[in-house]
Structure 1
Amino acid sequence: MTRNTTRPPGRHDQRRPRGPRRPRGPHDWFAERLLAVVSGQRPVHSLLGLTVGPAYDQLVTLATASPAHDPGAGAEPRRERLRPVLRHCGRFHPGPGVIEAFARIATGDRVSAMAFRLEQGPDLRWRCAAVEMAPLP
């Protein structure tokens, strides 16, 4: 029996695969890690060696402002919290060894933004030098 379709066997929906995806860069990786820390999914110290300057202190402040780190959260019945999701991450290269990145974050139907700066050190590793964002809803 000859098939006249390009669908894999057993697949019945009409969706097609998306086109070619852009290669992921260090800004994508950092955006995911930063969101995990700020949303309380990972501890702040997981980014300790990946930050320079005041960025670590900024992360500590952002993470403790998150509802996931609210000490009074256990006093009331636990409600299901919406998990923030990284929707898009973009970048700008102001010079060699520097990436200024931004990310759109969706939490339910609310959208917020995060901005951060990555700097490449002499060892060619990327480190976060600054982070800015409003606390997640």
Structure 2
Amino acid sequence: MTRPRPRPAATRPPGRTDTRPPARTDTRRPSGPSGPSGPSGPPAASRTPARPLRTPPQPPPHPTELFTERLLLVLSGQKPVHWAARHIAHTAFDDLTRLAESAPLAVHGRRPTVHRIGHYEPRSGVFEVFARICTGGPSLRALAFRLHLGEDARWRCTAVEVGTPAP
């Protein structure tokens, strides 16, 4: 009968008592699910809690800017008239409906842009607004409307007109 050969004793540094082999040092980065973004999470350097970027609060847009955009969408044919109906009062809805039928600010393939907005406040709670609208050509179109602040603290358009360029 043959006896198994005895294994040579592993050489251990002095003071080491465990019998496990020395740990292997792997210099490769792990990939796949156990990689830096896997179950073990991101690397230690990126584990610091990230502070959310704080932007200063923006003031709400002025009512003249909001209504200019609303009227521009309706008069260019991008939105139907009833989309803005709750923001229009009195005979201005009839005027807007009549104007929207001809789509005076419609541009084929491009959206008209607001070139400049200005307003005059004849008394508190009333704005008379004028806007220059660029429709892609060499000339600008004029949009004028009037805003009233209602008792319910909501702005409503009470008059609207569009100027067409001279031929």
Q: Decide: shared fold, TM above 0.5.
A: yes
Which ranges in structure 2 are unaligned for 5 or more consecutive residues?
A: 1-58
1:102 aligns with 2:130: yes
Structure with greater helix percent = 1
Q: Deviations over 1:28-60 (max 9, x none)?
A: 000000010000011100111111111001111
Structure 1 position 63, deviation (Å): 0.6
Identical positions, percent: 44
The one-letter amino acid of 1:50's match is H
* CA–CA separation in structure 1 for the residues paired with 2:158 and 2:145: 7
Aligned residues: 107
Structure with greater strand percent = 1
TM (normalized to structure 2)?
0.58
Aligned to 1:59: 96
The one-letter amino acid of 2:162's match is M
TM (normalized to structure 1)?
0.70
Q: Deviations over 1:91-118 (max 9, x none)?
A: 1110011010000000112211100000
Which ranges in structure 1 are unaligned for 5 or more consecutive residues?
A: 1-21, 70-78
Q: Give the number of the structure whose alpha-carbon radius of gyration is greater.
A: 2
Aligned to 1:32: 69
The one-letter amino acid of 1:60's match is T
* CA–CA separation in structure 2 for the residues paired with 1:80 and 1:68: 10
Structure 1 position 84, deviation (Å): 1.3
1:111 aligns with 2:148: no
Misfit runs of 4+, over 2 Å: 79-83
1:45 aligns with 2:45: no
CA contact (8 A) 1:101 1:115 kept: yes
Aligned to 1:129: 158
CA contact (8 A) 1:62 1:135 kept: no
CA contact (8 A) 2:72 2:105 kept: no
The one-letter amino acid of 2:70's match is R
Change (3 A) 1:118 1:96: same
- What is the CA RMSD across the aligned residues, in angstroms? 2.5
Q: For 2:70, what is the secondary structure of its paired residue?
A: helix
